Homo-oligomer: A and B are copies of this chain.
């Protein structure tokens, strides 16, 4: 006998339907056009009914953000998982490629989680930061795996004492085992991937380079080389 009653299942389904409808509206009219009244109308209910499921619009947005992060993280993890475990460089390339692909395929959700497109909405950091780190964990765990396997190329990691000390403390707190300078390179790489995707999405890069894909891939390959990860010949 299931612990969930009929009513609870119904309630959860309606909550999901609200989020699905919201996602559909965002995909069509952009994240900024998210409107409780429009969602309700598309569902055939009235706007105040949504308040039975979310205390206010910001709570709905936060739920959508968490979902989006998890979808992004799942896409990255799935792409990485499809590569043989000992091909660390290729795993990183697959993860980075999935990151860009998901972002291009879900531009509204991307700007929802990485921008501030909602008037008056401020993402609660205590909710988002852990989910973000979870989504981006492959970019740290792949180099960690390679490090522990002793499979790192003979790369030399430049030292940055100030930042690296801070980073080392954070790594310990997170239970990650990899050198701080390596993690710093990962963060610099995250910034690069994020920036290139952002510039592509707002249309600044395409007029200059056309298809951004090769530019992005070149940057990631250079990053993989700096990290000392080997790729298939």
A200 nearest CB neighbor, chain B only: B191
Give the interface SS of chain A, mostly helix, strand, loop or mixed: helix
- Given A209-B163, A209-B170, do A218 and B184 touch, yes or no (CB 8 Å)? yes
Q: Are B31 and A116 in contact (CB under 8 A)?
A: yes
Q: How far in angstroms is the closest Cβ of chain B from A133?
A: 8
Q: Are A208 and B125 in contact (CB under 8 A)?
A: no
Residue interface bits A166-194, CB-to-B below 8 A is 1, else 0: 11001000000000000010011011111
A209 contact from B119, B167, B199, B222, Cβ within 8 A: B167
Residue interface bits A201-213, CB-to-B below 8 A is 1, else 0: 0111101111100
Tell me, in angstroms, the Cα distance from A184 to B118 when the chains sit together. Answer: 34
Q: Are B204 and A132 in contact (CB under 8 A)?
A: yes
Q: Are B114 and A202 in contact (CB under 8 A)?
A: yes
Which chain B residues lie closer than 8 Å to A33 at the CB level? 119-120
Tell me, in angstroms, the Cα distance from A218 to B167 when the chains sit together. Answer: 14
Q: Are B116 and A208 in contact (CB under 8 A)?
A: no
Binding site for B on A (CB under 8 A): 30-33, 111, 114-123, 125, 129, 132-133, 158, 160, 162-163, 166-167, 170, 184, 187-188, 190-196, 198-199, 202-205, 207-211, 214-215, 218-219, 222
A-B pairs, top 4 by smallest CB distance, nearest first, are A195-B195, A191-B196, A191-B195, A194-B195
